[in-house]
Amino acid sequence: MFAKAALILVDIQNDFCPGGALAVAQGDEIIEVVNRLMPCFPLVVAIQDWHPANHISFQEQGGIWQPHCMQNTPGAELHPQINRQEIDSYFHKAFEPQKDAYSGFEGINQQGQSLHQALKEKEIKTIFVTGLATDYCVKATALDGLKNGYEVYVVTDVVRAVNVNADDGEKALAAMQAQGVHLLSSEELFQSSQTASNQGD
């Protein structure tokens, strides 16, 4: 387990997984590893797009996306294979009609706290970001984490990209790394977790 670290699950929702309204290719392939990672962390946070039906990002309102992740619909729910028992709190973002929000740091929980407030309350210093999509909400969340003073890691095999252009995901990872985000694989993360556990024994 990593002390003072949180695992952030970004938008692993039905509408972003295969069969959903705005599916990310192979988006559901990350779920098995996400479930394995969660017990390694003292805090696990799930971020959800939570749009009203008239959200500004939708094409009908002049946005670029078709309707997705509408509040209280099956498409907005987390993928059913995610182990919800390991999730400590949920944050909804982009829930106001005239305001878009890609970053999890723009979300709030049921208590009205921002993600930053909740992480500081738990004395979290480091965040590990997983989820969908690399080139949009994962990138925004990771970079906002840096701006808020966290050490930020993106787990590179536990994210998937929209890839409007074929290399958008790789470009997003490179851009994050250039700004100070650390990149690592889940295997490296599991090895670090095992080392930390052994040192704690």
User: Residues 40, 137, 139, 144: which is the catalytic one?
Assistant: 137
Neighbours of 156 (CB within 10 A): 17
Q: Are 131 and 138 in contact (CB under 8 A)?
A: yes
User: Residues 17, 40, 49, 93: which is the catalytic one?
Assistant: 93
The closest of 141, 151, 154, 90 to 118, measured between CA atoms, is 90
Q: Is 98 helix (H, G, I), strand (E, B) or coil?
A: coil
Gap between the Cα atoms of 170 and 162, Å rounded: 11
147 included as an active-site residue = no
Task: Show the tokens assigned to 199.
Answer: 């040192």
Please work out, in degrees rounded to the nearest 5, the angle formed at the alpha carbon of residue 143 by the alpha carbons of 104 and 185.
Answer: 90
CA distances from 153 to 72, 77, 201 (A): 31, 25, 25
Report the Cα 74 to chain-centroid distance in Å: 19
40 included as an active-site residue = no
> What is the number of helices (H) and of strands (E) in the chain?
5, 6
Say if residue 133 is preceded by a cis peptide, omega within 30 of 0: yes
171 included as an active-site residue = no
Residue numbers annotated as active site: 11, 93, 137
